[in-house]
Amino acid sequence: MSGKVFRSVKELKGLSLKNCPAMPWPGGVLMCAPDHYDVVDVKNPFMAGHVGRVDRALARRQWEAVKAAFEAEGKEVSLIEPQPRLEDMVFCANPIFAGLDSKGKPVCVLGHMRHPSRRREVPAFEAWFRERGYRIAKIKDPGVLFEGAGDALWHPGKRLIWGGHGFRSQPEAYASVAEAFDAPVILLKLVNERFYHLDTCFCPLTPESVLVYPSAFDGESLELILKMFPVVLTASEPDAVRAMACNAAVLDGKTALIQKGAEGVKRHMQVMGLKVVELETSEFVKSGGSVYCMKSFLY
């Protein structure tokens, strides 16, 4: 099943969590300081009405608090140098997707972003990961879009990748992703433009449980989620939209770093045994990102 892309429950025959090999948890995160962060145009619905309205000082304090929260949970935070005129570079999840191949070697798949302003971020991330010994892989067809860990998420503790498509990444990208990591990919189609990346509506919590906003997916994708996860928790619309609750960063299946105010999701996470750390990321939500978007997991 390694390196195969699955699109439907029917195709899943023979694939289960039991026969997916174990995958080490990320050891740290990569972040980028918000030196040049701003909302300069509208790339997603969250940005509407926020052009030129970022409080830079507040954004810096919020970013520092997120960084400190990762460190407090024992995750080393590495930094990439922010670049002028790359206002979205603070969202480190999108330009690349990192992980380990079947031999345990680190791999970085480069994104090919939909928006030209974000494509300019990728070379800096490529250089950073190359210098640290990651094998660099690319989507084979240069015309196919792929938005890194915004749309590609590892199943907790397993060599299994979930791949979102519909608004940013294209399904054709995932054959290259599956090959790069020698890992299966399950495709999920996004159908609600507000949830333009998979990480805005799909948050794996533990190997057995996931948090989703169901209206973000088509029916076939919901069937795939229900088939693979024994426990599927749902976020309310207020939690999913106003607090971007599904954009939480879950560490080692034990701790969730989440935007403050998502009370329903907070209770769900606590019932699953997770420690919940609430953070304020309101300045970044203006761009359609929260804690998960503000880092890239490192292996």
Active site (catalytic) residues: 197, 293
223 burial (CB, 10 Å; 0-12 / 13-18 / 19+) is: middle
- Beta-carbon contacts of 203 under 8 Å, excluding residues fewer than 6 positions away, are 210, 211, 212, 245, 246, 247, 248, 250, 292
Compute φ and ψ for 21, nearest 5 degrees: -60, 160
CA-CA-CA-CA torsion for 12, 18, 21, 23, nearest 10 degrees?
A: 100
Report the C-alpha gap between 192 and 208 in whole angstroms: 25
Structure tokens, 184: 């299966």
Contact by Cβ (8 Å): 248, 275: no
Residue with tokens 């890194």: 148
Contact by Cβ (8 Å): 124, 79: no
Alpha-carbon separation of residue 83 from 32, 86, 134 (angstroms):
9, 6, 22
- Beta-carbon contacts of 189 under 8 Å, excluding residues fewer than 6 positions away, are 164, 165, 166, 217, 218, 220, 221
Contact by Cβ (8 Å): 20, 155: yes
